[in-house]
Structure 1
Amino acid sequence: MSTKIFVNLPVKDLARSREFFTALGYSFNPDFSDDNAACLVISENILAMLLVEPFFKTFTEKRIVDAHTEGEVILALSADSREQVDELVDRALAAGGSPTGETQDHGFMYGRAFLDPDGHHWELTWMDMAAAQEQG
């Protein structure tokens, strides 16, 4: 069975969010996108539904947290190389994202993080699995 994950994230300005993630090199699935939502394609099986806040509220009775001041989730993605980590985070920062945390460099593992314009926390990590097993 092939499982897809749809992460649902509230956003204040859908057009701004689309511009931000397009600048990072991502695309959107038009079949699941309209004026209330944009389906961000992270990979074949990982998608993020960027939902304008009033539409997001139709799915939950909970209040929407301000991700700029409160923790909600850390979205961690793997990268194929250290260079890919740097490239994507640098693009995020150039497109209006904010840096968060320190660069993590453990030799066999490397990671950086950023906040998107709505304050959602994204981490990119590369790991040399052979070297990680040796560290074991």
Structure 2
Amino acid sequence: MTAAPARIYVMDASAMLALGKGEPGGDVVEAILNDPRNVSYAHGMNLCEVFYIVRRDRGDTGAREVLQDLHSLGVTAREDLDAAFRLEVGRLKADYAVALPDCCGLALALRVGGTFVTADHKELDPVDAAGVCPIRFIR
């Protein structure tokens, strides 16, 4: 019997924060991370967002703990920022009203053939409607 191919997900800060804060949609993220058939990534810029948002409430130690928890749950950090990646990020930023870290996450999803996981309809509905890459809205 052949194993099912891995499903690849790229986590946005909003998805990771929903999981960490027990917000609506956090259960969707948890299910993705708990499925052993899935591979989950987050771009360093999205992890930076998680860090600074959590740091405001829980300090440096608390923010580092959240990043470690995400790693322990299977979120692999990616630091892609080569020339081709930067151009793709720039194209996305020029074409859509999306925050730069989200452009990094979207570009990573395109690069790895994955689905971008987010709670951010406001910025990402137009990207989804344009069919740029698969997007999974958690709420």
TM > 0.5 between the two?
no
Q: What TM-score do the two structures reach when normalised by structure 2?
A: 0.31
Q: Who wins on radius of gyration, i.e. which is larger? A: 1
Is the helix fraction higher in 1 or 2? 2
Larger strand percent: 1
> What TM-score do the two structures reach when normalised by structure 1?
0.32
